[in-house]
Structure 1
Amino acid sequence: MEFFSNDMKDTILLGKKLGKILKPGDIICLIGELGTGKTHFVKGIAEGLGIVDNITSPTFSIVNEYTSGRLKLYHFDVYRVNDPDEIEAIGFDEYIFSNAVSIIEWSNYIEELIPKERIEINIEKDISKSVNFRKISINYCGYRYDYIKELSKK
Structure 2
Amino acid sequence: MKEARCKLRGESAIIEALRRYLPDPDATVHAGAALAPGLRGGMILTLSGELGAGKTTLVRGVLRGLGWMGPVKSPSYMLVEHYSFSSLYFYHFDFYRFDDPDEWDSTGFTEYFRPDSIAVIEWPERVAARLPRVDVDARLGLAEPGRALELRAATAAGEACLARFATLMA
The TM-score, its normalising length taken from structure 1, stands at 0.91
| Alpha-carbon shift at residue 23 of structure 1 (Å) | 0.6
SS in 2 for 1:113: coil
Shift of 1:22: 1.0
> Which letter does structure 1 place at the counterpart of 2:104?
I
**Aligned-residue offset at 1:69:** 6.0
- Deviation string 1:12-59 (CA, Å, 9 cap, x unpaired) is 000011112211111000000000110000000001111222110111
Distance between the aligned counterparts of 2:134 and 2:141, measured in 1? Answer: 23
Name the CA distance, whole Å, in 2 between partners of 1:98 and 1:82. Answer: 28
Please name the residue that 1:94 is paired with: 111
State which drifts further: 93-102 or 76-85.
93-102
Deviation of 1:141 after TM superposition, in Å, equals 0.6
Alignment of 1:105-144 (within 5 A): 105-127=122-144, 130=145, 133-144=146-157
**Alpha-carbon distance in structure 2 between the residues aligned to 1:8 and 1:69:** 28
Distance 1:4 1:69, change over 3 A: farther
**Structure (1 or 2) with the greater strand fraction:** 2
Distance change >3 Å, CA 62–CA 74, structure 1 → 2: same
Give the structure 1 partner of residue 5 of structure 2: none
Q: Tell me the distance in 2 between the aligned counterparts of 1:43 and 1:57.
A: 9
Q: 1:22 aligns with which of 31, 36, 39?
A: 39
* Sequence identity percentage: 29
Q: What is aligned with 1:146?
A: 159
Distance in 1 between residues matched to 2:83 and 2:52, nearest whole Å: 23
- Normalised by the length of structure 2, the TM-score is 0.83
Q: Measure, in 1, the Cα distance between the counterparts of 2:86 and 2:92.
A: 14
The offset of 1:119, in angstroms, is: 0.8
Q: 3-state DSSP class of the match of 1:150? A: helix
**Letter of the structure 2 residue corresponding to residue 150 of structure 1:** R
Q: CA RMSD in A?
A: 1.4
Letter in 1 for 2:129: E
> SS at 1:111's partner residue?
coil
Number of residues paired by the alignment? 150
Structure 1 letter corresponding to 2:30 = L
Compute the displacement of 1:99 (Å). 1.4
**Deviates further, 4-13 or 45-54:** 45-54
Ranges of 4+ aligned residues in structure 1 off by more than 3 Å: none
Aligned counterparts of 2:97 and 2:134: Cα–Cα separation in 1: 24
